[in-house]
A and B are shown apart, each in its own frame.
Chain A
Amino acid sequence: MKLAARLSLAVLLVAFLLAPFLVHPGLVFIAGFAMIQIVFALSWNLLFSYAGLVSFGHAAFFGIGAYVSAVALRYGWHINFLLIPPISAVLGAAAAFLVAIVVLRRANGIQFSVLTLALSQLVVVLIGYSEYLGHDEGISAIPRPVINLGIATLDLNNPLASYYFVIVIGLIAIALIWLVVHGPIGRTMQAVRIDPERAAFVGIDVWRLRVVAFTLSGGFAALAGSLLAPWAQIVHPDYVNWLASAQPLFATLLGGAGFFWGPVVGVLGLAWLNYAMRTFVGLSEIMIGASLLVVVLLAPQGILGALRDAVRRRRGKVAGEHR
């Protein structure tokens, strides 16, 4: 099972890396967009499957990254664009930290989730008031940057360069998230999710751990957002609203909550659904919704959960025949 999982991951990685040479530009665009969504969904799942917190407003942090990077490009800030993802991550983390120390003082269950939703909708309203951020129309026709790498320059106006920029930064983010959740911080987060009281009685500061988890998660969400502007060349309040906040939740539930790679499977599943239904104008939302419903009803543990159960059943059967 481990081997099969590793092989699938390797195939997926190769598919992402070779996409521009294998499929038409429309699909390459979807692949780059999926990579951004994957990082976003993983940042959400770090909070959900590891720290046990449900954020309904995570798109606000995604939006911080998206708007920072859009503004930097639109208004021609004199910053090497290579610094924008890390700067976005720091700003997103700082915002998440402020939210966490206020909100987590009082709540960590459903009240926490609803408060994150309210705060993120507030961000949408604030964007609507801002001339600088383009009101409700967002910022469009964002120019792609030319990045000075010291020894060479990387011109993201080249489609190939911009694709690999998104993929490489995305892979770095995925690696960082993987390391965080599999290291000592991740272990402590799991302890708090499984039993916060037990965790407290071994000396874990539960509140502080949750603040750390929320801060990290906000940082990674903003990092994902910062890739949107150079890739899609448009940033819009629709990327910040509650529907956008629901995307990582859908992806995680579809792919499998409790699995690190669940959101990846979910994002790709959703992307495929969206693509497959694109010609059914007006019907596509209904069909996507219906498909999600079917998956949730048939496989409450998501796609990876269903796969795991199938493998276990098969193994059980084989073991039974030996008796």
Chain B
Amino acid sequence: MILDAQNIEMSYGQLKVLHGVSLQVEEGQTFAIIGPNGAGKTTLFKVLTGERMASAGTVSFRGQDVSKLPAFKRARLGFGRTFQVARIFTELDLLTNVVIPIEARIRASGKSPGHWWSWEPSREVRAEAEDILERLGFPRQRWEDEAQYLSHGDRKRLEFCVALATRPGILMLDEPTAGMSPSDRREMTRFLARFKAETGITIVMTEHDMDLIFELADRLMVLNYGEVIAVGEPAAVRDDPMVREVYLGKGGQHA
């Protein structure tokens, strides 16, 4: 088991957002979390990645309790993440965006990413960054472009490059298709499917797009008012009467 969360509780002041949520993710699995707005998906995500500390409960990564570790330490252990709205280093060029996490990873492993006085990244770092950009479809002539001029879809792709440069053991994707056009969504779905097949990486994601979930997810968890109401194979979860009720209302006609 790569990720194991037990009885996560979370409150913002008086408001209790998560009521003892547990989840287990196996190595290589794609685990999707869905739920109506306000169900606690984002909060759960923040607790898992270390952006927020849970009020109660534990998070373990590869058998190690990481509940008290801040985000940057979890990132060093192997948590890679993307955000609903892609977050990249906007004012820097594409190559530098990828060089930064590679250098951070090398530094965290106790080695030096290069002399402090060298104004170019070391040859190894640069080669790795170029390889990642190439693999994710950024041609050489765009490497010097400033990231802030990228389109929405390209930003998401660059954010993937940034996340992958840390060589994560688990990828945490917060709504990978948020705000995308239908064609961009299909492209993202294809990209994720291919990426998963190539690398066999473990993925945990929140998502609204059901097509993407049924295409990719091995397991699906449904949150409602901070509680797990169903978890299992996507097809089985879809047919769960309680899930149908939450999504469609009692006696829903639009299924």
Contact = CB atoms under 8 A, between A and B. Distances in A.
Interface string B179-193: 000000000000000
B30 to A, nearest CB: 20
B28 interface: no
B71 A187 contact: no
A179 interface: yes
5 contacts: A179-B119, A187-B92, A190-B89, A201-B49, A203-B166
A205 B92 CA distance: 20
Given A180-B117, A185-B116, 18 more contacts: A183-B114, A183-B117, A184-B114, A184-B121, A194-B90, A195-B90, A197-B87, A200-B71, A201-B49, A202-B104, A202-B162, A203-B76, A203-B101, A203-B104, A203-B166, A204-B72, A204-B104, A205-B72
Interface in A139-192: 179-180, 182-185, 187-188, 190-191
B96 interface: yes
A202 B161 CA distance: 11
B179 to A, nearest CB: 18
A149 B129 CA distance: 47
Contact of A184 (B88, B116, B166): B116
B119 A202 contact: no
A204 B75 CA distance: 8
B176 interface: no
A67 B89 CA distance: 40
Nearest to B92: A190
Interface string A203-220: 111100000000000000
Contacts of A194: 89-92
B165 A198 contact: no
Interface string B115-136: 1111101000000000000000
Given A183-B114, A183-B116, A198 B104 contact: no
A201 B71 CA distance: 6
Contacts of A199: 72, 100, 104
A43 to B, nearest CB: 17
Nearest to B108: A203
A191 B114 contact: no
Interface string B60-100: 00000000001110011001110100011111100010011
Given A179-B119, A183-B115, A185-B116, A203 B105 contact: yes
B75 A180 contact: no
Given A187-B100, A198-B87, A179 B72 contact: no
Given A184-B114, A202-B100, A191 B89 contact: yes
Contacts of A197: 51, 71, 87
A206 B89 CA distance: 15
Which 4 A-B pairs give the minimum distances between C-beta atoms?
A202-B101, A182-B119, A203-B75, A179-B117
Q: Interface residue tally of chain A, by bracket?
A: 20 to 34
Contacts of B51: 197
B103 interface: yes
Contact of A180 (B80, B116, B121): B116
B226 interface: no
Interface in B101-159: 101, 103-105, 107-108, 113-119, 121
B81 A201 contact: yes
Nearest to B78: A203
A201 B92 contact: no
A203 B104 CA distance: 6
Nearest to B96: A187
A107 to B, nearest CB: 17
Contacts of B91: 190, 194, 258
B116 A202 contact: no
Contacts of B100: 187-188, 190-191, 199, 202, 204
B87 A200 contact: no
B113 A200 contact: no
Nearest to B70: A200
Contacts of B121: 184, 187
A195 B75 contact: no
B89 A201 contact: no
A188 B103 contact: yes
A187 B99 CA distance: 9
Contacts of A182: 119
Contacts of B119: 179, 182-183
A198 to B, nearest CB: 4
Given A179-B117, A183-B117, A203 B89 contact: no
A182 B105 CA distance: 19
B119 to A, nearest CB: 4
Contacts of A204: 72, 100, 104
A202 B81 CA distance: 8
Contact of A198 (B76, B88, B113): B88
B86 to A, nearest CB: 10
